[in-house]
Amino acid sequence: MIVKSAEFICSNTQISKLPPPVKPEYAFIGRSNVGKSSLINMLTGKKGLAKTSQTPGKTQLINHFLVNGNWYIVDLPGYGYARASKSKKAGWDKFIHTYLDKRESLQCVMVLIDSRLEPQKIDLEFCNWLGEKGLAFVLVFTKADKQSSVKTDQNIAKFKKALLANFEEAPQYFITSSELQQGRDELLGFIGGINQEFVVPDYKI
């Protein structure tokens, strides 16, 4: 898929104010500081589209970016925020989970995992929640340029093994590096394939 255009549409904290669910959406989510904004910018080819920050937990809204005028990248707040009150975390969690569970046009959840780390409990718990809800998701391993491919493969194997404690088979995965543009064609090709099959859902205005 060639990305010809990508634009910021809106930020929201209320599900009712999201764009009408008539175009396919792909939710990007992961632990704070996993490299989500950099990945979104790499995929769209627009450096400043998603705001990158050195402060974990900076994204506290659902951000919609319209790509090629016909599908959305949805930037969700990271989980495992470094500095947030318990009530705020609970509010974000409910908001995110409601979006993921109820959004009619959501096609797939891109769960971003730092490829440099051994399996993290918070990532595994989130994947298990998606599985319990029957939501389609893939794993996107980030920052692959920060270590050897052998180490990346080892950590991916460990993560898949940990998931198989609760899943019959491990989900599809992608290895990415925002710095090297690694995984861009594969991810965009995956999204493009789903877009071709998309049928506009019935929804109440």
DSSP annotation string for 64-101: EEEETTTEEEEEPPPBS-SS--HHHHHHHHHHHHHHHH
Q: Cα(137)–Cα(130) distance, rounded to whole angstroms?
A: 7
The residue among 39, 29, 105, 35 whose CA lies nearest residue 60 is 29
CATH of span 6-146+173-197: 3.40.50.300
Q: Cα(195)–Cα(72) distance, rounded to whole angstroms?
A: 10
Q: What is the 3-state secondary structure (H, E, C) of 38-62?
A: HHHHHHHCCCCCCCCCCCCCCCCCE
Q: Is the pLDDT of residue 65 over 90?
A: yes
pLDDT of residue 33: 86
Residue 202 binned pLDDT confidence (cut-offs 50, 70, 90): confident
pLDDT of residue 51: 79
Mean pLDDT over 46-57 rounds to: 70
pLDDT of residue 92: 66
Whole-number mean pLDDT of the chain?
A: 89
Q: Is the pLDDT of residue 203 over 90?
A: no
| Cβ proximity of 143 and 35 under 8 Å | yes
Q: Is the pLDDT of residue 48 over 70?
A: yes
Q: CA of 100: how far to CAs of 12, 20, 28, 86, in Å?
A: 14, 15, 11, 21
Strand partners, 177: 182
Per residue in 150-172, pLDDT tens?
999 999 999 999 999 999 999 99
Per residue in 85-132, pLDDT tens?
566 666 667 888 899 999 999 999 999 999 999 999 999 999 999 999
Residue that the structure tokens 């991810």 belong to: 187
In degrees, to the nearest 5, what angle opens at C-alpha 4 toward C-alphas 33 and 51?
Answer: 25
